Structure 1
Amino acid sequence: MAPYRRPLSLALLAGAVALVAAALAARRWGGPHGGLVLAHRVAEHTVVIGWLSLIALGAAILLGLRTVAPRVALGTPLLVLGAPLMLLYTVLAYWTADSRRPRATRPPAARTGAWWWNGVTP
Structure 2
Amino acid sequence: MLPLGTLLEFDEFDNKLREKEFASRVVHFMKTLGGKDTHDFLFNALKRCLSNSVAKEYSMDSKKKKKPLRPTYFLRTMLEAAKMHRAESDEDLAIKIISSWLAGAKLRFDRETAKLGVIEPEQEQRAD
- TM-score, with length taken from structure 2: 0.31
- TM-score, with length taken from structure 1: 0.32
Higher relative contact order (CA 8 A, sep 6+): 2
Greater Rg by CA: 1
